């Protein structure tokens, strides 16, 4: 196996953390970019993905520590729940900024290394809500749908350069983001209600996403690009 340098955004929590741990267990050198990285963790770098200056600075620090980055997983995300008629433009903009513009900044910042290497893997964590829609989440669903679109278009541009770009939309995964929504009564039912409606009859685990990303980041996945690969227990088909 070839050891690569990987960056996982949102890698301090939930799905991103599981992906970072899995890529590391796979043998890669992994750096995490997050708003609030754990103190004392030398492989975690503080950056707000909406701020290009911070992203560039963090990527420069990662390059200095590990070398060129050829695997990028964009998992940083921010949800939001508001009736559309009550949604302020500022709230709309922040959710678009984190979920969509953050992907733009991180991909642009990491891409020169992949182009130079003639090899790269980009995985964007979108959302099953881009497939199904979700009431009170217009901003979030719009952003995640755009991430799926960006993924398809970029895959066509970067395929000839040896770089694959795929999106993995999670559905109903047990993370702090989901549990906070549950606590606030925003899930549209209890976790048990959702499990009963999920064909595989369980809640998803961050490790389910991590396994998919591990494969997409591997040599074996070189013929898979521009794909939207749902990890949702059959909730969307």
Q: Which residues bind ligand NAP (CB under 6 A)?
A: 9-10, 12-16, 34-36, 48-50, 75-79, 98, 102, 125, 127-128, 170-173, 175-178
* Structure-token match 């433009």, residue found: 89
What dihedral do alpha carbons 30, 31, 36, 38 form, nearest 10°? 60
Q: Which residue has the tokens 């890529």?
A: 23
Closest distance to ligand NAP from the beta carbon of 177 (Å): 3
Say what angle helices 206-216 and 14-25 make with each other, to 10 degrees: 50
- Rounded distance between C-alpha atoms, residue 120 and residue 218, angstroms: 10
Closer Cβ to ligand NAP, 119 or 137, answer by number: 137
What is the smallest separation between the CB atom of 179 and ligand NAP, expressed in angstroms? 9
Indicate which residue of 45, 92, 119, 140 is catalytic: 140
- Residue 134: is it exposed, middle or buried by C-beta count within 10 angstroms (0-12/13-18/19+)? middle
Least distance in Å: CB of 132 to ligand NAP? 11
If the CB atoms of residues 115 and 187 are measured against ligand NAP, the closer one turns out to be: 187
> CB 76 → ligand NAP: shortest distance, Å?
4
| 140 is annotated as an active-site residue | yes
Asked if 78 and 30 count as a contact pair (C-beta separation under 8 A), the reply is no
The residue among 75 and 163 lying less far from ligand NAP, judged by its C-beta, is 75
Distance CA 210, CA 16 (A): 8
In the complex with ligand NAP, the residue whose CB is nearer, 76 or 221, is 76
Give the residue numbers annotated as catalytic, written as ranges.
140
């Amino acid at each position: 196996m070839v050891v690569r340098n990987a960056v996982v955004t949102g890698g301090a929590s939930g799905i991103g953390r599981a992906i970072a741990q899995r890529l590391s267990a796979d043998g890669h050198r992994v750096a995490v970019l997050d708003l609030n990285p754990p103190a004392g963790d030398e492989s975690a770098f503080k950056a707000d993905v909406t701020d290009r200056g911070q992203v560039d600075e963090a990527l420069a620090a990662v390059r200095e520590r590990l070398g060129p980055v050829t695997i990028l997983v964009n998992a940083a995300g921010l949800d939001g729940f508001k009736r559309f008629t009550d949604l302020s433009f500022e709230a709309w903009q922040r959710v678009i900024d984190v979920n969509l513009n953050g992907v733009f900044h991180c991909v642009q910042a990491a891409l020169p290394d992949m182009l130079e290497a003639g090899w790269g893997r980009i995985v964007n964590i979108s959302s099953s809500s881009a497939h199904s829609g979700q009431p009170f989440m217009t901003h979030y669903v719009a952003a995640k749908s755009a991430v799926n679109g960006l993924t398809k278009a970029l895959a066509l541009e970067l395929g000839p350069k040896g770089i694959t770009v795929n999106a993995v939309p999670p559905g109903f995964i047990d993370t702090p983001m989901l549990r906070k929504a549950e606590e606030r009564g925003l899930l549209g039912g209890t976790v048990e209600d959702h499990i009963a409606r999920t064909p595989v009859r369980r809640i998803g685990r961050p490790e389910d996403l991590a396994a998919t990303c591990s494969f997409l980041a591997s040599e074996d996945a070189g013929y898979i690009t521009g794909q939207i690969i749902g990890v949702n227990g059959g909730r969307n088909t």
